[in-house]
């Protein structure tokens, strides 16, 4: 029973008409502290349906930004929970540069914890969200655009090597 439900869910998420839903979910989850990447899903949908490029950029950016907001909230709540914070270079750097540091939320490995630290330090929420969204949009635009210019033959050869 559970196997058929999972198979049905995966078929629904893979369907072209709900490809944007899949990208939203993958982008959201990958922006939380769960280590995952959304770029392959974004690229796959862009490659399969180039007409969806701009809606895809919007959906991926929204999902990834909302995930960053979850990270921010977790940091904010953690700050409320822990009475004392340790002083570190990260804290001083974030406090000095403020919400603009969220432009770096797109960086692999440090972007998601950076959003969490922004909440921990109680940096202003909406400016942080704005800078997060701008950084994440720039990442999706650059990565997907560059990958779309790679000739199809390269992807076929990679697929043959992996398969």
What is residue 6's predicted lDDT score, i.e. its pLDDT?
61
List of residues 6+ apart from 151 with CB closer than 8 A: none
Give the E-state strand segments of 21-147 in sequence order. none
Q: Which residues contact 128 (CB under 8 A, 6 or more apart)?
A: 72, 99, 102, 115, 118, 119
Distance CA(63)–CA(69), nearest Å, equals: 10
- Pseudo-torsion of CA 101, 106, 109, 115, nearest 10°? 50
Which stretches of the chain drop beneath a pLDDT of 70? 1-2, 5-18, 80-88, 90
């Amino acid at each position: 029973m559970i196997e058929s439900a999972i198979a049905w869910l995966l078929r629904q998420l893979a369907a072209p008409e709900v490809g944007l839903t899949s990208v939203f979910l993958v982008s959201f989850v990958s922006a939380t502290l769960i280590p995952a990447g959304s770029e392959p899903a974004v690229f796959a949908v862009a490659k399969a349906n180039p007409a969806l490029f701009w809606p895809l950029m919007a959906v991926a950016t929204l999902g990834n930004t909302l995930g960053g907001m979850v990270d921010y909230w977790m940091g904010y709540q953690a700050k409320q929970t822990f009475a004392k914070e340790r002083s570190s270079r990260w804290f001083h750097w974030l406090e000095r540069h403020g919400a603009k540091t969220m432009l770096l939320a797109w960086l692999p490995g440090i972007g998601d914890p950076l959003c969490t630290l922004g909440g921990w330090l109680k940096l202003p929420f909406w400016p942080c969200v704005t800078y997060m969204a701008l950084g994440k949009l720039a990442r999706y635009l650059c990565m997907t655009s560059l990958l779309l210019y790679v000739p199809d033959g390269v992807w076929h050869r990679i697929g043959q090597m992996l398969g």
